[in-house]
Structure 1
Amino acid sequence: MTTTTVRDASVRRIPDWVLGAAGVLALLIVLELLPQLGMVDARYLPPVSEMLGALFAIATTSTFWIALGQTLLTWLIGLGISLLAGVGIGVLLGTVGWLREYTASTIEFLRPVPSVALIPVAVLLLGTGMPSTLLLVVYASFWQILMQVMAGVQDIDPVASDTARSYRFRPLTRIRSVVWPTTLPFAMTGLRLAASVALILTVTVTGELLISGDGIGGRLALARESGAVAPMYAYVIVAGALGVIVNVIARATERRTLSWHPSIRTEAHA
């Protein structure tokens, strides 16, 4: 066994979470040293120790937890609506050929439209509260699930589809026994992507674009406007931590749901 092979084998034995933690630690050290060494202006980028101090200070207030709860509630509701609508419409469009062809141009027209372009419409229709944010969150994350589910329906084995047709399966039976087992891995991928997109829209729309000031994004915008630089970065850290947690939960859910799928089994034995 060569030296390179031994080195590669030792690297593979290091858990992924250890490598990830090492990367985060290295970033924190760099952020701490840059202002300390005068390489950046500490007024605009304070040391990470100051950011963490501000984070611990705001974490002791009820305002922070109320804002965090509001953000998570908006994210969860928006993701749930997107999941139900994306799976239902995706299966319908994927299984009904003429309906898929009839709506293809409409989907391709609406899908590239960014959610931020719909902010004036959302505010005019629903005001500046949670419903406006939900509309934009659902719009952005819905497409992630819809396109994945439609791709999954199109990936069904023709032999299995013909067999179901030969045995004259009822539509619901065909969906349950043929369509859904093939589509589920695609749907889980769409859910994982939609979870991140929904969180991004929840935080940035409620904060930077000022549709609602009740969530973490709203507190971030308030800290920015008041010149509280360290608390502003503290809220940025919270938003980033939420993103990591959401991704970890989504991946764990995907692995648990698809424990029977060859891709997950291969990943587990890698």
Structure 2
Amino acid sequence: MRKRHPLDSKLLCGALGAAGLFCVLEVAGRVGLIDPAAFPLASVVLGRAASLVTDGEFLSDVLSTLGVWATGLTIAFMVAVPAGFLLGTVPAAEKAMRPIVEFLRPIPSIALIPLALAVFSERFDMKVTLVVYAATWPILINTMYGLKDVDPLAKETLRSFGFGNPAVLWRVSLPSTAPFIATGVRLASAVALIVAISAELLGGGSDGIGSYVLESAGGVDAVEYVTAAAMWAGVIGVLTNGLFVLVERRVFRWHTARTEVV
């Protein structure tokens, strides 16, 4: 008998959990625990979500959100990884920048929306900037943490054979840190999606899932449309996270086997 893969078991449990929640909400609406006039039945919301698949306006908004998400996440990666290596390998730089990092990191990106609106005339630039700001921190911190986890014996062994710091960084530090960077990117991916939709919702504009939710909130069957759009935002989050998990498992199989962490 073939042994079930742990990832298969988690997918099955997740699917059962989602189905169970759907059934609970549907029954609660049917028996009157939840007023259908205030919040529609789960089956109605699911049907509305299915209808959005053929809604060209909604699909265009999804692509717009994904464009902001992908652009911001890519820029954050390109900024955070080099910065993380600099702060993680140069103690003087880390000491000088640590107070600034700790000051900026807790500031919510959403709180910066009024400032971003004043600085950027283009909504796309505004949203991407906020995504970059929010997504940079998980990648930066994980890169720095990964560098601290590099085996010092491996670095000293390479140096004893005459290799300089650039070679040690390329041959030892980068491969050892790569799984941590990948985890940081996966965490940043979820943050980037949240910030992108929030910026669309609060920052105005005419495109994106957040803008679709804002427009739907003033129309007929508003709760159905808003909830269905929120469901699709959650589905996108689950799919992107699952994609990153799959890539991590395939590319860093050795690290996953050692840590047994998804």
Do residues 217 (structure 1) and 210 (structure 2) align? yes
Q: Distance in 2 between matches of 1:36 and 1:216?
A: 30
Deviation string for 1:148-171 (max 9, x for gaps)? 001111122222222344444344
Partner residue in 2 for 1:242: 236
Deviation string for 1:15-73 (max 9, x for gaps)? 22221111111111112122222212212210011112222333212101111111111
1:64 to 58, 61, 71: 58
**Alignment-mate amino acid for residue 215 of structure 1:** G
Partner residue in 2 for 1:134: 128
**Alignment-mate amino acid for residue 219 of structure 1:** Y
For 1:179-194, what aligned pairs fall within 5 Å after superposition?
179-194=173-188
Partner residue in 2 for 1:264: 257
Q: Distance in 2 between matches of 1:123 and 1:152?
A: 35
Change (3 A) 1:185 1:44: same
Q: Distance in 2 between matches of 1:56 and 1:196?
A: 23
Residues 88 and 147 of structure 2 are in contact (CA less than 8 Å); yes or no, is this contact kept in structure 1?
yes
**Alignment-mate amino acid for residue 216 of structure 1:** I
Which contiguous aligned blocks of 4+ residues in structure 1 show a shift greater than 6 angstroms?
none
1:100 to 94, 97, 104: 94
Q: TM-score, normalised by structure 2?
A: 0.91
Partner residue in 2 for 1:202: 196
Alignment: residue pair count: 258
Change (3 A) 1:21 1:128: same
Residues 161 and 178 of structure 1 are in contact (CA less than 8 Å); yes or no, is this contact kept in structure 2?
yes
**Alignment-mate amino acid for residue 264 of structure 1:** A
**Alignment-mate amino acid for residue 85 of structure 1:** V
Q: Distance in 2 between matches of 1:163 and 1:242?
A: 45
Partner residue in 2 for 1:18: 12
Change (3 A) 1:265 1:165: closer
Instruction: Indicate the SS of the match to 2:138.
Output: helix
Partner residue in 1 for 2:140: 146
Residues 133 and 212 of structure 1 are in contact (CA less than 8 Å); yes or no, is this contact kept in structure 2?
no
Q: Distance in 1 between matches of 2:175 and 2:52?
A: 46
Residues 147 and 177 of structure 2 are in contact (CA less than 8 Å); yes or no, is this contact kept in structure 1?
yes
Could you tell me how far 1:128 is from its partner in structure 2? Answer: 5.5
Of the structure 1 ranges 29-38 and 143-152, higher mean CA displacement relative to structure 2 is found in: 29-38
Deviation string for 1:114-134 (max 9, x for gaps)? 111111111111136111111
